[in-house]
Amino acid sequence: MTTLSVAEANALIAVDKITVREMVWIAKNTNHNPKFQHFETAIKIDNEVREDVYFRAIYRPEHAERKGNATLWANASIGVALHASNHRISAIDFDDKKLHINKKGQGLPHYQAKLIGLHRHIWTNDGYGYAEPMELENIRMETIINAFIKENNIQLIGGFKPLPQEQLQLLL
């Protein structure tokens, strides 16, 4: 799957899908402290495991970063997405300080808009990069994941599993 039309992306989103494994959060192998926590799994469609279609959730807690002699505060960030091959075709992201600028999606309502906070990415004729603001009853990881899997027709086997205890400071 080298290129993906909007119709193909929407058809993939519309079809019933099930994760291949239960949710287990894993610390991402990076030099960051605290570590990103992530969960990734292949997707099964019509009893066929598709290694090229997968669900991914990433969380990084708020933390202080040293830049020379300065200490900068970085807020928590969340990303939940459906991928087809190397394409992030649907996603919900949250970061209340990082700016997202819509450089894709010409002709769509939020083209060239600057978004901060909770937003939904959709696949466009230009590919990935267009997002729209969204609202949920809260911005906890469980709420975001459950909204995402409902919108994308994904059954998460075993249901949502909370982040490891030391990561639970997010947006409570």
CA-to-CA distance for 112 and 60, rounded, in angstroms? 27
What's the pLDDT at 172? Answer: 43
What's the pLDDT at 35? Answer: 78
What's the pLDDT at 96? Answer: 83
- What's this model's pTM, rounded to 2 decimal places? 0.88
What's the pLDDT at 171? Answer: 42
**What tens digit of pLDDT does each residue of 63-83 get?**
887 888 998 887 789 999 999
CA-to-CA distance for 114 and 18, rounded, in angstroms? 34
Q: Six-digit token pair at 144?
A: 């975001």
Q: Six-digit token pair at 166?
A: 């030391």
Which residues make Cβ contacts (< 8 Å) with residue 13, sequence separation at least 6?
Answer: 82, 89, 90, 151, 152, 153
What's the pLDDT at 76? Answer: 83
What's the pLDDT at 165? Answer: 67
Q: Six-digit token pair at 96?
A: 């209340």
Amino acid at site 123: W
Which of 156, 147, 122 minimizes the C-alpha distance to 16?
Answer: 156
Q: Six-digit token pair at 109?
A: 């309502």
In order along its 172 residues, the chain shows pLDDT tens digits of: 458 999 999 999 999 999 999 999 998 877 767 778 999 999 999 999 998 999 999 998 888 878 889 988 877 899 999 999 989 999 999 988 788 999 999 999 999 999 999 999 999 999 999 999 999 999 899 999 999 999 999 999 999 999 886 544 444 4
What's the pLDDT at 167? Answer: 47
CA-to-CA distance for 16 and 12, rounded, in angstroms? 8
